[in-house]
Structure formats: structure tokens, C-alpha cells
Amino acid sequence: MSLKEKDDMDHEGWMKRKDLTPVESTFLVALIWMDKRLRIVDYLELLENLYYKVNMQMPKSHTEQYDLDNKFWYWYPLYALGSFSTLAYIVAAVSGALLGFYYAPAQTGDPSTAYNSITFIMTDLQFGFMLRSIHRWSAQVMVAAVFLHMLRVYFTGAYKEPRELNWLLGIVLISLTMVFGYTGYLLPWDQLAFWAGQIGVEMSLSIPLAGEWVAQLLFGGFTLGPATLQRMYILHVFLLPFVVTSLIAIHIGIVWVQGIAEPH
Amino acid sequence: MSDTNTNTDTDTDTDTDGTEARTDGSGGPGIVAPDDETPSWRERKERTTGLSRLTYEYFERARREDQDLRTESDYVERDVLAFPTWPHETVRNLSIAAFFTGMIFFLSATMPPHIGSPANPSSTPAIILPDWYLYWSFGLLKLGPLNPELAILGGEKITADRTYGVLANVVVVGFVAIVPFLNKGSARRPVEQPFWSAVGVGGIVFAFTISLLAVKNLMPMDVDLLFDLTFLLPIVATTVTYAVLKTMREGYMYDLNRRYYRLRPPK
């Protein structure tokens, strides 16, 4: 068996004949190199297809058809609330990752290690007070923006067909945002956090049938303890970020595919 | 055992043929080039039955429908007519993003958070509160007085007050979730749908009043009066909004019709 390369498509000869600029030839060399390994041309076709579907085949929107641009732009600030909450989410994620370098969810000692690490961040760490402030405020702003975003969607009827599923996804997202806020609220392990946690345990215990199971799962027991703080921490920095980020991506992707629901 | 025998046989055969033994399992017939009798993918799809047949038919129909729509006049090649993404939309989005982020930084620089005293399970503070955005949920936990006492059970309650409060949360979120399946039609503006807008305004007011109920021990107000107002104010707000929007709708519909007929005069 011979190992001789059978190159029907002589790409190099083709490139020589084309008389390309350095930029073009670099691009082509990289493209061919990648394509030989990853078959990206197949996917390029998909992308191209997608591009034409998105850009060329959408119906004329209502504002274009009836020349209502003035109306749409008048309401534009309210239509930016969704992206505003995404933006606040990104700011919270970045500042939260930085805070995570210095926070430990342990409960040893009195006051607890968790409380001590917050005091360390706020008093000793360079820029730490500002960092915590940014994290907290971006969380507050995100929740506020999400609520207002929901009101905007409600009052402009943007949840109607074909957008019902995205509305349901939005309900899930707003709930998860509040769970995000709640778990973060418990992390400093001060008095407010402890007693808010107490209310949480009691609420989950009073769920019919599944109550004790839920309390055990979320709070690690029927009373607050080290396990509670550990679980809140993992929810806040590991589980929720993955879930919420992917749901936000799907939410925005659906908006992209379906288009903005413009006011009539 | 029989498998091993078969393999040995194959090996022997290829050896007698004079070709090299192949280790990659490609001893069988190679890929046959399609001839005229090879069915095309379309024909294969047409031959399917059951659910896959239905799927195929639906996709064909949907594709034809898209094609028809595309040939209609109100379809447009977007990237020619629409607002350009670069630089117009991008620059605007970037400036809005910068402004919003700057606002967050401003808030955090001017109003930094504080931390309370460390957790102490043995002393319950006078005021226990979640963050502000959970006040409504916290307030719904305090609906005990509305929990019906059944005469059949001799004045006993079916559910504990706590369970009742948690169920109230589920009911509220569930109602918000099914709104798209209750309110259908193409109306978009509040004036076009007075009822649902009134429900929305009532909901907002209720969110505020129930939040105030949650902090009732901080309110300089009689608690019973606060409890009554919690439910009366949303009803009042709903009624007023409904009346106002219903009145506005007359004028609005007149305006809308005039605009519509100017655009498309009746034949």
C-alpha cells in the first residue's frame, strides 16, 4: 500500500496562481490547515446558511412596515433593561470571582471564618471594600433590572405568541436570580444572614410532602450549621453560575431567533 | 469460539488471494459508488413511514410556506434596509453599556454595604428581613389570617399557616407563568388590553403592599389597617386603571383606524 498523497485539489498551486496579498494568503493557509484537521468547511456552510436565514429572510418588522421608528425609539430605554441585567450579571460575575479569592465558607472559630474573611476583605484588603460594594450593588441592580424587564415585557404584551416559552424561561430565570441573591445574602454569616437562613429552612420544611427532603438537600439539615453555609457557597459559586449563564444564553438566543417584539 | 474460527477463515482467504492482511477491519466490500438505481436522500425520506414520514412532510410544507412568504412583497433583504449593526448599533450599545456599568460603580462608591454583627443563634434580633426583592415573598408568608377555617373541621385549618404562605408563593409565581396562555391575541399596548393592563397594575401595587406587610413591625401604622389596605389598594388600583384605559381606548382606536386607512385606503 502506498502512502503517496493523492491531492486532486492542489490548494498550494491554486494559491500561487491567485496572486494573493499577505493577509489573504495567511488567512487561506490558516483556513486550509484548520480545515484539514477539523473539517470546518462543513460548518462554514452551516454558518453561512445561518447568516442568510437571520439577515436575509426575516419578514419586514412591524416598525419597518408602518414606518413607526419614532414610536420604537421613544420606548428604547425600556427595551434595554434585558441587556442591562445581563451587563450587571457580568459585572457581578467578575467582581464575585475576585471576591472568591479571599472568601472561605468555613464556620470554625468565633466569629466564624466566613465572617472574618468578609471583615478582612472590607478592612485590610486593598480595594476590597470597593470590590464587595461593586458585587453587592451589581447584584441589587441586576434584580431590579430583571423585575423591570419583566414589567416591560408584560405591559407591551411581548410574551404573546410565539414567545410564550421564553416567558416561562424568564420566570425560571427571575426565580434563579432571587435564589442567587438569597444564597449570596447568607454568605457573610452575620446576624441578618443567619436569621434569613432560619426563615429559609422553615419555609422549605413547610412545603407539603417534600419539605424535609428539600430542607436536607438545600440547607444540609433542619437547623443551620456549617453544612448550610457550605451548601449556600457551592450553590452560589458553582451550581447557579453554570445553570443561570446557560439559561441566559438560551433566553437571549431565543430573542435573537424570534426578533424583538416591537410595540405596535 | 465460532467467531474466532470465522476470523481465521477470512484471514486465510485474503492470504490466498495474495493481498496483504488488513488490520483495520476493511476486508469486506468497499464503498459502492452511487449509480442510477441508488435512491437519493429525498427518495429515501419519501419512502419512510410513520413519524419520520410525518416529519418529512411537515418540513416540506414548512419550506414551501417559507418560500411563498418570501416571495410576498413585505419580505425584505434585511441587511440592505435595516439599521446598520456597525458602527451605529454597536457604538450605541457600547456607550449604553459603559454608562450602565459606570452607574453601578458610582452607586457602589457612594453607598458601600456594611456588615452586621456576627451570627449568634442564641439571640434573635428584633428585625429579621431578607433582601428587599424577597419582601413580597416574605409578606406572602404572613397571610395566616386569610387561611380559611373550615366549619366541618370544627374551626380547624386544613393547612398550617406556614404551609399556606408557601403555597401562596407557588400560586403567585404560577399565575404569572401562565399569563401567555390566558391572554392571547395580538394586542400589544396597554390601551389595547385594558383588562390585562389593569391586572398588571394591580399586581405591581400588590407587590408593594405585600412588601409593606412584610415589614409591618417597622410601619408606623395600625397592623390591622395595614392588612386590609394590602388587599384593598390593589383592587382600587386595578379598577382605576381599567376605567382610565377603557376611556383612553376610544380615542386611541379612532387614531389608529385613521392612520391605518390613510395608509391603506378602502377600495
Of the candidates A144, A159, A206, the beta carbon closest to that of B163 is on A206
Task: Read off the pLDDT band of A206 (50, 70, 90).
Answer: confident
- B44 or B154, higher pLDDT: B44
Residues contacting residue A224 through CB under 8 Å, at least 6 positions apart: A194, A197, A198, A201, B121
Is 0.85 exceeded by the ipTM? Answer: no
Q: Identify how many contiguous H helices and E strands chain B contains and give both numbers.
A: 9, 2
Cα–Cα distance for residue pair A99/A104, rounded to 1 Å? 10
Average pLDDT over residues A40-69: 65
Tens digits of residue pLDDT in A232-262: 999 999 999 999 999 999 998 888 777 777 6
**Chain B, nearest residue to A170 by Cα:** B177
Average pLDDT over residues B157-161: 73
Q: Is A118 on the interface with B (CB under 8 A)?
A: yes
Per-residue model confidence (pLDDT) at position B150: 66
Tens digits of residue pLDDT in B91-144: 877 888 899 999 999 999 999 998 888 888 888 888 888 889 999 999 998 887
Mutate to test the interface with A, among B133, B164, B206 (most CBs of A within 10 A): B133
Q: What SS3 state is found at A161?
A: coil
Q: Calculate the CA B265 to chain-centre distance.
A: 39
Tens digits of residue pLDDT in B50-61: 777 777 777 777
Cα–Cα distance for residue pair A107/A152, rounded to 1 Å? 42
Cα–Cα distance for residue pair B239/B253, rounded to 1 Å? 21
Residue A94 has pLDDT above 70, yes or no: yes
Cα–Cα distance for residue pair A2/B104, rounded to 1 Å? 67
Tens digits of residue pLDDT in B227-249: 999 999 999 999 999 999 999 88
Task: Read off the pLDDT band of B16 (50, 70, 90).
Answer: very low
Provide the 10 A C-beta neighbour count for residue A16.
11
Dihedral sign for Cα B137, B142, B146, B147, please: positive
**Chain B, nearest residue to A188 by Cα:** B115
- B105 or B152, higher pLDDT: B105
Question: Which domains, and CATH codes, for chain A?
Answer: 11-56 (no CATH), 67-258 (1.20.810.10)
Per-residue model confidence (pLDDT) at position B224: 87
The verdict on a CB contact (< 8 Å) between B134 and A122 is: no
Chain A partners of B14 at a C-beta cutoff of 8 Å? none
Of A209-223, B1-15, B31-45, minimum mean pLDDT range: B1-15
Per-residue model confidence (pLDDT) at position A139: 96
Average pLDDT over residues A78-86: 89
The verdict on a CB contact (< 8 Å) between B263 and A66 is: yes
Residue B27 has pLDDT above 70, yes or no: no
Of A2-6, A216-220, A222-226, minimum mean pLDDT range: A2-6
Q: Which residue has the cell 404572613?
A: B142
**Chain A, nearest residue to B259 by Cα:** A66
Per-residue model confidence (pLDDT) at position A15: 81
Tens digits of residue pLDDT in A158-181: 898 888 999 999 999 999 999 999
Cα–Cα distance for residue pair B105/A133, rounded to 1 Å? 9
Q: Do you find a cis peptide bond into A162, omega within 30 degrees of 0?
A: yes
B156 touches A224 (CB < 8 A): no
- A139 or A62, higher pLDDT: A139
Per-residue model confidence (pLDDT) at position B13: 45
Average pLDDT over residues B21-47: 67
- A222 or B72, higher pLDDT: A222
A53-57, A143-147, A251-255, B190-194: which is most confident: A143-147
Cα–Cα distance for residue pair B21/B13, rounded to 1 Å? 10
B156-157 and B149-150 beta bridge pairing: antiparallel
Chain B partners of A53 at a C-beta cutoff of 8 Å? none
At residue B197's C-alpha, the angle toward residues B135 and B146, to 5°, is 45
Number of CB pairs, chain A paired with chain B, less than 8 A apart: 189
Per-residue model confidence (pLDDT) at position A49: 74
Residue B9 has pLDDT above 70, yes or no: no
B210 touches B220 (CB < 8 A): no
Cα–Cα distance for residue pair B145/B137, rounded to 1 Å? 16
Residue B11 has pLDDT above 50, yes or no: no
At residue A165's C-alpha, the angle toward residues A163 and A169, to 5°, is 115
Whole-number average pLDDT of chain A = 86
Chain A partners of B165 at a C-beta cutoff of 8 Å? 203, 206
Per-residue model confidence (pLDDT) at position A5: 57
- A25 or B147, higher pLDDT: A25
- B209 or A50, higher pLDDT: B209
Instruction: Please give, rounded to a whole number of angstroms, the shortest distance from the CA of A56 to a CA of chain B.
Output: 5
Residue B82 has pLDDT above 80, yes or no: no
Per-residue model confidence (pLDDT) at position A9: 65
